[in-house]
Amino acid sequence: MTSPDATHSDAIQTQARLPVLPPHVRVGYAVIGLGELTEEQLYPAFHLSGQSRLCALVTGNREKALEQAELLGLRPQDVYDYDHFEELKDRPDVQAVFIVLPNSLHREYTERAARIGKHVLCEKPLSVSVADAEAMVLACKAAGVLLMTAYRIQYTPHHQAARELIQGGTLGKVKMMAAIDVQTEPNEGQWRLKRDLAGGGSLLDVGLYCLNTARYLSGEEPYEVFAYTHSTPGDERFGEVEESVSFTLRFPSGLISSNFCSYGTSKHRSLRVLGEKGNLLLDPAFDYTSLRLMVDTETEVRETLIRETDQFALELDHFSGCVLSGEAPFTPGEEGVQDQRIMEAIYRSAREGRPVQLERLEGRDLFRGKKPAQIERERA
Ligand code: NDP
């Protein structure tokens, strides 16, 4: 792609348009699992969300949690351990939980939260199997609480702009998407390398971004997958889960999506979309900040400048808005279940060395709720 500097840039301002609510009417959350994502991304996001407030912490490490609580302005009685999670039932200020635990624990805490009447925002992947993910959807339905898969990318302005360019026809008929999400983490001993906690390797962790983004940008569902997995012989990190996966998805419109994810390659996260009349590049595509969107069509080459907004705050705002209105989230549990189905097909294809068929589904956004209301863009 030609350098965007060669032509012109245009600017898009993105703003959260949901009203900033007074603290006492914001949706109150308990965060479950105080690891890296919670501490580094979610605490700041709660601070930025005008619809949400953090009321309680659930942890296996009380000492760490008490320190964090003090910094967050929470009281010692706002810290719960896993065994006493159900005591949150008596906290009317806590309407929702945010599950930020290792993947295989997502089902248990979703079911426990549903049983005490709390709405559930659950980190990706929704779970470690189709069966678990479907059970989570059912548990929340039966309890009358909302379940949202925390797919921050679908609330991210750069990806929303890319989706509009693709679905609005700017690139013409889209033929190909190529996504890469690779990194060298995790280190030995991390739960991400243990099958019983992670459920799989790089596919469930970073490959899911490639898969979910292809579905989100196109709005379509794949009907066939073909995949290879690879783990470096002798690398002890990959005794239980795979290092790398290469997978191809075929969509009803003819679109082919080609993807590579790995735990064994230095960090790179990009997405290229090729259409009859133009192409676009998101690079980096899946990072928390500093995303870049470049568009190259028959008439212009430009970088679309989009004002950065905290991805996790946007996601939180959306879910809180749903809790307040009772509407289904844009990325409900069903959206996570569908990715789980496709990931199981990807593993099966790699195991059996042949393409695997999925149910052929026509139509767009079949597993999504109403488009998020909070994002409006204005040309500067
Ligand atoms: P961490 O390992 O940093 O934290 C996980 C936390 O879970 C731990 O700190 C611990 O909290 C709790 N925990 C409970 N049981 C266990 C156990 N058996 N082993 C390890 N931890 C346990 O993980 P992350 O925060 O990076 O990931 C958590 C979830 O968030 C995962 O599902 C992951 O896929 C997802 N994620 C999503 C991202 C996104 O961009 N949307 C980015 C990163 C992660 P405590 O000490 O309080 O008990």
- Give the pLDDT confidence of 146-183 residue by residue, as tens digits: 999 999 999 999 999 999 999 999 999 999 999 999 99
Are 97 and 109 spatial neighbours (Cβ–Cβ below 8 Å)? Answer: yes
Mutation pick for ligand 1 pocket among 36, 185, 188 (CB with most ligand atoms within 8 Å): 36
Long-range interactions of 371-375: CB distance < 8 A, separation 24+:
371/330, 372/155, 372/314, 372/318, 372/330, 373/17, 373/18, 373/321, 374/16, 374/17, 374/18, 374/314, 374/317, 374/318, 374/321, 375/14, 375/15, 375/16, 375/17, 375/155, 375/157, 375/160, 375/314
User: What is residue 352's predicted lDDT score, i.e. its pLDDT?
Assistant: 98
| Per-residue pLDDT at 380 exceeds 50 | no
Q: What percent of the chain has pLDDT over 90?
A: 88
Give the distance from CA 50 to its chain's centroid: 21
- Give the model's confidence band at 371: pLDDT under 50 very low, under 70 low, under 90 confident, else very high: confident
- The pLDDT assigned to 7 comes to 35
Give the pLDDT score at 19.
Answer: 79
Whether residues 112 and 249 share a domain: the answer is: no
Residue 127 alpha carbon to ligand 1 centre in Å: 13
Q: Is residue 195 part of a domain?
A: yes
Whether 43 is covered by a domain: the verdict is: yes
Whether residue 91 is contained in a domain is answered as yes
Residues 208 and 247 both lie in one domain: yes
Cα–Cα distance, 351 to 113 (Å, whole number) = 36
- Residues in Cβ contact with 17 at an 8 Å cutoff, skipping those fewer than 6 apart: 373, 374, 375, 376
* CATH number, domain containing residue 299: 3.30.360.10
For the cut 80, the answer to whether the pLDDT of residue 3 exceeds it is no
Query: Residue whose CA is closest, atom 8 of ligand 1?
Result: 35
Is 82 part of a structural domain of the chain?
A: yes
113 and 86 Cβ atoms separated by less than 8 Å = no
Instruction: Give catalytic residue positions.
Output: 124, 209
pLDDT at 187: 84
Pocket of ligand 1 (CB under 6 A): 33-38, 59-61, 100-103, 123-124, 150, 152, 191, 197, 205
Whether 286 is in a domain gets the answer: yes
- Over residues 320-324, mean pLDDT: 96
* Domain match, 124 and 220 both: no
Same domain, 138 and 205: no
Q: Which of 112, 137, 152 is the last residue of a domain?
A: 152
128-140 confidence digits (pLDDT tens)? 999 999 999 999 9
CA of 21 from ligand 1 middle (Å) equals: 29
Of the listed ranges 3-7, 196-200, 214-218, the least confidently predicted one is: 3-7
Question: Domain check: are 159 and 299 in the same one?
Answer: yes
**What average pLDDT score do residues 226-239 get?**
96
Both 76 and 225 in one domain: the answer is no
Q: How confident is the model at residue 378 (pLDDT cuts 50, 70, 90)?
A: very low
The more confident residue out of 7 and 164 is: 164
Report which of 115, 111, 52 is spatially closest to residue 310, judged by C-alpha positions: 52
* 101 CA from centroid of ligand 1 (Å): 4
- Cα 343 vs. chain centroid, distance in angstroms? 15
Q: Quick one: pLDDT at residue 242?
A: 98
Task: Measure the CA–CA gap between 222 and 248, rounded to whole angstroms.
Answer: 10
Q: Are residues 161 and 107 in the same domain?
A: no
Nearest protein CA to atom 44 of ligand 1, as residue: 37
CA of 174 to the centre of ligand 1 (A): 36
35 plus 90 within the same structural domain: yes
Distance between CA atoms of residues 112 and 87, nearest Å: 11
DSSP conformation class of 103 = G
pLDDT-based confidence at 81, cuts 50/70/90?
very high
Among candidate residues 134, 152, 170, the one where a domain is terminated: 152
**pLDDT digit string (tens) for 259-312?**
999 999 999 999 999 999 999 999 999 999 999 999 999 888 999 989 889 999
The residue from 108, 129, 152 where one domain ends is 152
Q: What is the pLDDT of residue 379?
A: 31
Q: How far is CA 220 from CA 254, 285, 330, 361, 363, in A?
A: 10, 20, 15, 8, 7
Only one residue has tokens 């390659």, namely: 265
The protein residue whose alpha carbon is closest to atom 20 in ligand 1 is 191
* Centroid of ligand 1 to alpha carbon of 44 (angstroms): 17
Same domain, 285 and 338: yes
| DSSP-assigned beta bridge partners for residue 27 | 52
Q: CATH code at 144?
A: 3.40.50.720
Tell me the C-alpha distance between 35 and 113, whole Å. 19
Q: Which atom of ligand 1 is nearest to the CA of 103?
A: 32
Q: Return d(Cα 229, Cα 221) in angstroms, integer.
A: 22
Residue 291: alpha-carbon gap to chain centroid: 15
Average pLDDT over residues 27-44: 98
Q: Dihedral of CA 44/50/52/56: which sign?
A: positive
CA distance 93 to 98: 14
Question: What is the average pLDDT value for the chain, to the nearest integer?
Answer: 93
Residue 243 phi, psi dihedral angles, 5° rounding: -80, -50
Note whether 199 and 128 are within 8 A (CB).
yes
- By the 8 A CB rule, do 114 and 140 touch? yes
Query: Which range of residues forms the domain containing residue 287?
Result: 153-309+333-377
Reported as a pLDDT band with limits 50, 70 and 90, residue 17 is: low
Contact 51, 324 (CB under 8 A): yes
How many structural domains compose the chain? 2
Q: Does residue 99 sit within a domain?
A: yes
Residue 135 is assigned to a structural domain of this protein:
yes
pLDDT in tens, 249-273: 999 999 999 999 999 999 999 999 9
Least confident of 89-103, 114-128, 181-195: 181-195
Q: What's residue 186's pLDDT? A: 79
Considering the domain architecture, whether residues 363 and 232 belong to the same structural domain is answered as: yes
Binned at pLDDT 50, 70 and 90, residue 365 comes out as very high
Torsion of CA 272, 208, 319, 71, to 10 degrees: -100
Separation of alpha carbons 183 and 194, rounded Å: 17
Same domain, 305 and 371: yes
If asked whether residues 275 and 289 sit together in one domain, one would say: yes
What is d(CA 84, CA 199) in angstroms, rounded to the nearest whole number?
Answer: 26
Closest CA to ligand 1's atom 42 = 37
Residue 252 belongs to a domain: yes
